[in-house]
Structure 1
Amino acid sequence: MAEPVVSTILTQLALLTSQELKLLWGVDKEVEKLISNFQAIQAVIEDAEYRQVKELAVRHWLDKLKEVSYDIDDVLDKWITTSKKFQMKKVENASKLWKKVSISFDCFFCKKVSLRHEIAFSIRDLKETLDTIAMEKNSFNFSPTVSTSTQLEHKITTSFIDLLEVQGRDDYKNTLINLLLIESSQAPIIHIISIVGMGGIGKTTLARIAFNDDKVNTHFDKKIWVCVSVPFVETNIAKAILESLTDVAPNVSELETMLRKIRQSLEGKKFLLVLDDVWTETPDDWKQLKNSLKCASKGSKIIMTTRKESTAKIMGATNMIPLGKLSDNESWLLFTQIAFFGKTKEKCEKFIDIGRKIVDKCKGLPLALKTLGSLLSLKSEVEEWQRALDSNLWGIDKIEAELFPTLLLSYYDLSSILKKCLSYCALFPKDYVIEKDALIKLWMAQGYLGNEEMELVGEKYFNTLVMRSFFQDFEKSEYDNNIIRCKMHDIVHDCIQSIAKNECSYIEFESPTMPQFEISTKSIRHVLIKLSSIPPYILNLKLRSLVVETERNDFTLNTSLSKKLTCLRTLALNLGWGKANLEGIKNLIHLRHFELHSITTVILSEALCDLYNLRTLDLTGCWNLRKLAQGIGKLVNLRHLLILRTFSLEYIPKGVERLSCLRTLNKFIIAGDGYNKKACTSLDCLKNLKLNQRSLELELGNVRDINALKLAYLESMKNLLDLVLRKWRHINIAFPKLKVLRFGYLTEWKEWHFETSEYTDEDSTIFETSECIDEDITIMPYLHFLSMIDCPELKAIPDQILRTPTLQHLEISDCDILRESYKTEDGRSKFSHIPKITID
């Protein structure tokens, strides 16, 4: 996918002011030519992306375009970064008159002057390369407009079906038929039932089953089947409906005339209309046609099949049936019905074990099961079945001819930037659990989400891919039903990987010096590896993403290694309790996403704070990390600071309050005495930040100033659902929308009230007194889950909390007094209305 890179470059060029161009010593004309070439290429690149599927020469041209585009992107990003850092340096030193500062600033200025020469020469060289590529463009006769239908053919479907070839789907079939037969006075005039699912999942088959059901046949006066596909043209659909109703091809072409004839044919009649394979997302596309159908008798139904949930909603679906994959048993029956057809039971025996493995490979996708079953029905040797099992599915001609185009239709219906977001998922191995928020941050690092409100854009893109059936096996939050994690179907993954194979790669094998496969192209930009060390040939690639997942290993990013990874936008290290040495981090000037997971020992160098472009710093699980870089306030573009499970972390540097772009800080430590000059000692440090997160862990140090503990300073966190309080002795409630509240390790906490009136340090314990609170007042009216862990001195949970009507689960562990009180009849009566109670 070259289009997003081209768009990024044009945006960067627009950011360069005329003054900055003059500083590049005479390359303003070259920059003008770059802009002209990229604009011309951008106009036809969509056609090139489509044509590369069938034309090898176009694919090679796009590869060359991507190579030079990435190189230009790196050069421009380096120049913009240096310019911004230079401006920051001027502001920092504006009021400092010391000679030492002046010398330091002069050195920085000299480096910038030297960099201008370097960038000017690079732009000239790259401009010449782009000139050649732009000239080659003309030989392909690309079109500035293109339609998916000109490149990939949509199969025309009919209503005919051999029911002997159908396995499973009984629940779905019964649901659909019941919806068709049900009569209700509350039903709308046009009752639309949508079947939604990925390509090849069996939507059309299910519609055919219902269309040909005996009860359905007798229930409707008229039945009509129309294959819609792309584009959605009302005149074509009206013509198909009219032909089905009259059994004669209409000799009129005017939409008005056809709609009048349809009304005449359907008036007062109960009809069933199937619109198969609908793709449109424009409500007006079928507004007139829909209105013409309202003349029919009440009880008329429309079945619509689509891959896009958004289409179902736009078309006005009354009911939606999300079609899932076949069960293991249904998959086996469907496969064997085709693959074993005509074979005796004895001949089938030798294929059963390997056949089950092949069925597993299809992951419940009916089209894949049918295609492979049909292919293998002609194979009589076990070795031939084994080759089908061992091969990549896209290496099998029959699969490529029948299944691959079906899935490609969904891919090429996406916008160019959504194609890029989806193809990036080829970085992950099959069956990989994809964390939604983590994926959005990875997209952000690659520049796919623009520059403003990136998280909202990423959420929108993710939901679009969900609604278009690219993801499955969703894990949702029990509190607000938002998707947290998902997977990609293996065969969809194969399809996406085949598209992105020249850009994304997953590598896993025993020895880094003896790979099981050879990287055949230098155009790979994103790599996920599961190795004990980075193989040498990886360093010859101009990587933009390097994700390392390994067990109990050490990683050293020395200066020599970092200079070979200078193009990185993402560096993610999950070392399984290994150690990390990051002395060379300062060379990764383009880095946007830096992730250290589950690392035993790591010391964050102050050089980290020179990474001007950093958007995400994820230190989750670095349990031995004692200090963050003190100059963290210099990371002015940082949006996400993730530090959960950093149990040894002593404090949050005071500079965090200067991070105006920060959207997530999922753990905050209120430091006590001894850190006053360099640490955040009050929640006041967060009050001006625009944090927009769903969970927060607050840890309390040895704080003596009660005003430092006011949770009201966090009132701007409107989306907070989950609050964890650790080592607290004072509880003040300030979140009326909170759904999850966890208390942990509050060993000296005795009383829980809501209004603080005095403070005492007797036994190092903060006590609270309060005036009587009206019994009708409910605190935290949306609370769903309350957890109390290791609060042995706490005497009671306030009635205002316990009577929260939404409270579904109360967890009490290592809370001696609370546990004992629950044993009494009075104590049990206070908890009796809560559906789930866990007491350890």
Structure 2
Amino acid sequence: MAEIFVYDIAESLLRKLASYVYEEASRAYNLHEDVQGIKDTLSILKGVLLDAEEKKEQKHGLCEWLRQIQNVCLDAEDVLDGFECQSLRKQVVIASGSNRVKVGHFFSSSNSLVFRLRMARQIKYIRHRLDKIATDGNKFCLERIDLDHRLVKRREMTYSHVDASGVFGREQDKEEIIKLLMQPHPHGDGYGDKSVCVIPIVGIGGLGKTTLAKLVFNDRRMDELFQIKMWVCISDDFDIRQLIVKIINSASASSSSTPTISIPHQESINNLDIEHLQSHLRQKLSAQKYLLVLDDMWNDDRAKWIELKDLIKVGAVGSKIVVTTRSNSIASMIGTVPSYSLEGLSTKDCLSLFVKWAFNEGEERRHPNLVKMGEEIVKKCKGVPLAVRTLGSSLFLNFDSERWEFIRDHGIWSLKQKKDDILPALKLSYDQMPSYLKQCFAYFSLFPKDYGFAGAQISSLWVVHGLLGSPAGSQNPENVARQYIGELHSRSFLEDFEDFGHYYYFKVHDLVHDLALYVAKEDFLVVKSHTHYIPENVRHFSVLEYDSLSYALFPKSRSVRSILFPIHGIGVDSEALLETWLTRYRYLRILDLSDSSIELSDSIAKLEHLRALSLVNNRKIRRLPRSFCKLQNLQILSLRGCMELETLPKGLGMLISLRKLYITTKQSTLSEDEFASLTNLQTLSFEYCEKLKFLFRRVQLTSLEVLTVQSCRSLESLPLCIVPKLEVLCVIRCQMLNLSQSYTNPMHRLRMKFLHLEHCPKLQTLPQWIEGAVDTLQTMLILNCHNLKMLPEWLTTMARLKKLHIVNCSQLLNLPSDMHNLTDLEDLSLDGCPELCQKCDSESGEYWPFITHVKRVSIGETREGQLLSQMQSQLRLRLQDE
């Protein structure tokens, strides 16, 4: 039985019912009695839901009862959201002042009389269903529990590179693998099939195979031994085309001298045939001594392995391949040397790891009784580091002995383990999550294994589905999402975490992904070519393969809320299928049509509940339909990469809920009046708007917090005075832009926290208006500004600056003399600035004494840039862009 998230769903619905919009609307349409009845019944039910969730495994029928409550709550939310839709429509009608709009509105299905009759019928049915369920629940004798105490204290987020001090018991394993890599091929002569040595690392899931491979991969001796280092994660997929593309991109990142935070060019597996891909791959690897890590291999088809090996055996003598796998048979099939079998950690190492994650440093000395119980807990983990880490994280700074005893004595440890069972420690850690976090966690199941998440990607899903209720009611939902991400990271459910301030990226371990699939399987579904049936009750699905786009496959129920296409290059090319979705799934909240090749019809206006729409990389759309601007609930719209889009739709200002807007257009000017109506707009991005010379002259974007301009080659000015609340600014590849003229008053106080400047050829020194953010700026990234010659002395007055990265600014020779005044600076990275890097050398550099106070200093190291480039080559920033 999959997990049920009814407590948080009920709480969300009650929060909506108590809002001003719902209260006023129910009275205005004479539906207050029925709506109040729903609220009263739901309040009573909510009080026993936590107890029901605790007892659902012991009491027969309780799971089904909870499922019924969850379904009726979600159906109620769909129906009652009609109040919000109607309220937004009225706001647009009033703001338009147009009689034509008002008359058209009256004769539509949304006029007051038609709307009231429809809502009355649906709300009475919802109330009847809920009352019946409440009556049925009396037989379970449940107790009232009002608060969910399953919380964990959050620890500070860390960088994802492997910190050897945080890895226990693997030093000998690391040295053994390095010894194998440094030895000549025992059976090879450097030619033919014997030219590449393949070293398998084999062990059960969660044992630390990937961590061990990372320790080896990042060891400096490998940089000296190999000319190219490549890291490719395989997981379930062994498509030769995609693997070639991954290897090419990884090789490009490894050999690149210009690491960058912007998304690198991604080789297209759809536009290049296999012959061209092979040729490109051979060109990259030919005569190069390389190290290739193939992480998490599941393919047991020897023919496919030989096909891949034949393609990559063009390297120089001494090239090596390291493969991590859970299967001994796969290891035997691919290995040219005996497999390295990774064993579990010793009890001593497990306890050290557990203590590290369960306590702050030194805190364990005050709780010897808990440490003793911890030793009993880790014995049950059977040497698996992932199990130890997640359980330790779930107990972080929790000194309640009863909680520790509960973990130690839980019955899950005695269950017989099947081959594909979720690791008991992971399920146990999951069970300790608060209800709101469980529901959010389930959304990871919609993405494939080894998926590189942008932080805003998953948070956008949570936001538009209303999962991020702030206790104070006023906190920015993205900030709440960041807290949730932090809590999942604290519980060790996330890995490879890269934090760049405003932007952050991560992955989930494949076992954690299995757990997400396990808990979400009733309501969430990943559609692949072998999917032959989609249940009627599925509310969220993602499509991973072209072959699965069959009309008959998709359910006829109206309950679907999310349709995603998360894989690069895979989208919809059938307008008839899209029309079916638009007509059938009236309650869609998210429609991701990235990488599709379709035109939108007027039917899009039927999706009155739609909150997020992505048309990223649609090369067919030239114009959007006139009805498009009826989507008053739309919060996120991404038109990135719509290179044929001639103009934004007339009436864009009617999208009054819009919070995030990403634009690619052929327009040379924008309608200022339309943008002036977008009073909720917080994020605005212009990419590849090649004819755009000016953004705005008159309009004030008073709510805008994030502004990105990228590859707008004709853009001449950036009037920051029109964005008084701007916190994030990214300027990338805008050749004509003169940043020094972006602000008329250089000393005006700004609220900017994050600044990213990249490929700005006119930049010789930092513009003085940045000094206006002296009290707020926390992160500054300056990349590939090849004409930057100096940093101003006022830079050292930026009292809040925590992160400063300067990469590939070859003419930059000096740092300001008072760098020691940047007392908050925690992360300084200098690379691709040869003379400056030499002056900052830790042994002989004249600037080294001025930066010794910085916690994390990286001088002349490309590892971080390469790692970021490799990760971002996999990211698909769509409706999720920040």
TM category, shorter? 0.5 to 0.7
Cα distance in 1 for partners of 2:517, 2:727 equals 39
Determine the structure 2 residue equivalent to 1:464.
487
Determine the structure 2 residue equivalent to 1:209.
348
What does 1:232-311 correspond to in 2, within 5 Å?
A: 275=374, 307=391, 309=393
Work out which of the residue numbers 10, 28, 39 in structure 1 matches 2:14.
10
User: Residues 181-226 of structure 1: CA distance to partner in whole angstroms, max 9, x if unpaired?
Assistant: xxxxxxxxxxxxxxxxx99989xx868315999xxxxxxxxxxx9x
Instruction: Verify: 1:547 aligned to 2:564, yes or no.
Output: yes
Determine the structure 2 residue equivalent to 1:21.
26
| Structure 1 residue 611: Cα displacement | 1.3
Instruction: Verify: 1:728 aligned to 2:750, yes or no.
Output: no
Determine the structure 1 residue equivalent to 2:128.
128
Determine the structure 1 residue equivalent to 2:646.
626
Instruction: Verify: 1:76 aligned to 2:80, yes or no.
Output: yes
Rate the CA distance shift 1:564–1:712 in 2: closer, same or farther, 3 A: same
Cα distance in 2 for partners of 1:837, 1:432 equals 26
User: Residues 357-414 of structure 1: CA distance to partner in whole angstroms, max 9, x if unpaired?
Assistant: xxxxxxxxxxx99999x97xxxxxxxxxxxx5xxxx14xxxx6xxx34x322222222
Determine the structure 2 residue equivalent to 1:329.
none
| Structure 1 residue 471: Cα displacement | 1.5
Q: Contact (CA 8 Å) 1:638, 1:662: kept in 2 or not?
A: yes
Greater Cα offset, 582-591 or 710-719: 710-719
Classify the secondary structure of the residue corresponding to 2:584.
Answer: coil
Determine the structure 1 residue equivalent to 2:696.
681
Q: Contact (CA 8 Å) 1:671, 1:680: kept in 2 or not?
A: no
Gaps of 5+ in 1: 151-166, 175-197, 214-224, 242-271, 280-303, 317-367, 376-387, 510-514, 757-772, 790-795, 814-826
Determine the structure 1 residue equivalent to 2:464.
445
Instruction: Verify: 1:522 aligned to 2:526, yes or no.
Output: no
Instruction: Verify: 1:536 aligned to 2:556, yes or no.
Output: no
Cα distance in 1 for partners of 2:713, 2:46 equals 54
Q: Contact (CA 8 Å) 2:455, 2:504: kept in 1 or not?
A: yes
| Structure 1 residue 726: Cα displacement | 1.1
Work out which of the residue numbers 424, 438, 455 in structure 2 matches 1:419.
438
Rate the CA distance shift 1:172–1:123 in 2: closer, same or farther, 3 A: farther
Work out which of the residue numbers 663, 681, 697 in structure 1 matches 2:710.
697
Instruction: Verify: 1:112 aligned to 2:112, yes or no.
Output: yes
Rate the CA distance shift 1:688–1:471 in 2: closer, same or farther, 3 A: same
Determine the structure 2 residue equivalent to 1:488.
508
| Structure 1 residue 593: Cα displacement | 1.3
Determine the structure 1 residue equivalent to 2:808.
810
Gaps of 5+ in 2: 151-166, 175-204, 210-343, 379-387, 401-411, 797-803, 812-832, 841-858, 863-882
Cα distance in 2 for partners of 1:755, 1:600 equals 40
Letter in 2 for 1:718: E
Instruction: Verify: 1:666 aligned to 2:680, yes or no.
Output: no
Determine the structure 1 residue equivalent to 2:790.
799
Rate the CA distance shift 1:141–1:172 in 2: closer, same or farther, 3 A: farther
Determine the structure 2 residue equivalent to 1:617.
637
Letter in 1 for 2:51: D
Cα distance in 2 for partners of 1:483, 1:310 equals 26
User: Residues 258-314 of structure 1: CA distance to partner in whole angstroms, max 9, x if unpaired?
Assistant: xxxxxxxxxxxxxx86755999xxxxxxxxxxxxxxxxxxxxxxxx97736585467
Greater Cα offset, 431-440 or 735-744: 735-744
| Structure 1 residue 146: Cα displacement | 9.4
| Structure 1 residue 106: Cα displacement | 3.9
Q: Work out which of the two has the higher radius of gyration on C-alpha atoms and give 1 or 2.
A: 1
Letter in 2 for 1:697: Q
Determine the structure 1 residue equivalent to 2:661.
641
Letter in 2 for 1:130: L
Cα distance in 1 for partners of 2:137, 2:390 equals 36
Cα distance in 1 for partners of 2:834, 2:484 equals 48
| Structure 1 residue 72: Cα displacement | 1.1
> With structure 2 as the length reference, what TM-score do the two structures score?
0.57
Rate the CA distance shift 1:312–1:199 in 2: closer, same or farther, 3 A: farther
Letter in 2 for 1:414: M
Q: Contact (CA 8 Å) 1:4, 1:417: kept in 2 or not?
A: yes
Identity %: 20
Determine the structure 1 residue equivalent to 2:428.
409
User: Residues 743-765 of structure 1: CA distance to partner in whole angstroms, max 9, x if unpaired?
Assistant: 36x7xx69989689xxxxxxxxx
Classify the secondary structure of the residue corresponding to 2:61.
Answer: helix
Determine the structure 2 residue equivalent to 1:137.
137
What does 1:156-167 correspond to in 2, within 5 Å?
A: none
Rate the CA distance shift 1:32–1:622 in 2: closer, same or farther, 3 A: same
Letter in 1 for 2:391: R
Classify the secondary structure of the residue corresponding to 1:134.
Answer: helix
Classify the secondary structure of the residue corresponding to 1:741.
Answer: strand
User: Residues 790-828 of structure 1: CA distance to partner in whole angstroms, max 9, x if unpaired?
Assistant: xxxxxx544346997966422579xxxxxxxxxxxxx99
Determine the structure 1 residue equivalent to 2:727.
718
Instruction: Verify: 1:63 aligned to 2:72, yes or no.
Output: no
Cα distance in 2 for partners of 1:828, 1:275 equals 50
What does 1:26-105 correspond to in 2, within 5 Å?
A: 27-55=31-59, 57-93=61-97, 100=100, 103-105=103-105
Cα distance in 2 for partners of 1:689, 1:126 equals 38
Classify the secondary structure of the residue corresponding to 1:86.
Answer: helix
Cα distance in 2 for partners of 1:808, 1:133 equals 61
Q: Contact (CA 8 Å) 2:148, 2:434: kept in 1 or not?
A: no
Classify the secondary structure of the residue corresponding to 2:144.
Answer: coil
| Structure 1 residue 552: Cα displacement | 6.6
Q: Contact (CA 8 Å) 1:651, 1:670: kept in 2 or not?
A: no
Q: Contact (CA 8 Å) 1:592, 1:615: kept in 2 or not?
A: yes
Q: Contact (CA 8 Å) 1:629, 1:653: kept in 2 or not?
A: no
Q: Contact (CA 8 Å) 1:651, 1:669: kept in 2 or not?
A: no
Determine the structure 2 residue equivalent to 1:497.
517
Instruction: Verify: 1:476 aligned to 2:501, yes or no.
Output: no
User: Residues 15-41 of structure 1: CA distance to partner in whole angstroms, max 9, x if unpaired?
Assistant: 35665324434x433222211211111
Q: Contact (CA 8 Å) 1:573, 1:596: kept in 2 or not?
A: yes
Letter in 2 for 1:589: E
Instruction: Verify: 1:787 aligned to 2:802, yes or no.
Output: no
Letter in 2 for 1:476: E
| Structure 1 residue 12: Cα displacement | 2.4
| Structure 1 residue 739: Cα displacement | 5.3
Letter in 2 for 1:144: R
User: Residues 490-512 of structure 1: CA distance to partner in whole angstroms, max 9, x if unpaired?
Assistant: 22222232221111110111xxx
Letter in 2 for 1:121: R
| Structure 1 residue 58: Cα displacement | 1.6
Query: What is the aligned length?
Result: 581
Cα distance in 1 for partners of 2:440, 2:562 equals 14
Determine the structure 2 residue equivalent to 1:741.
757
| Structure 1 residue 11: Cα displacement | 2.2
| Structure 1 residue 441: Cα displacement | 0.4
Q: Contact (CA 8 Å) 2:837, 2:860: kept in 1 or not?
A: no
| Structure 1 residue 55: Cα displacement | 4.7
Greater Cα offset, 127-136 or 542-551: 542-551
Cα distance in 2 for partners of 1:206, 1:501 equals 33
Rate the CA distance shift 1:836–1:605 in 2: closer, same or farther, 3 A: farther
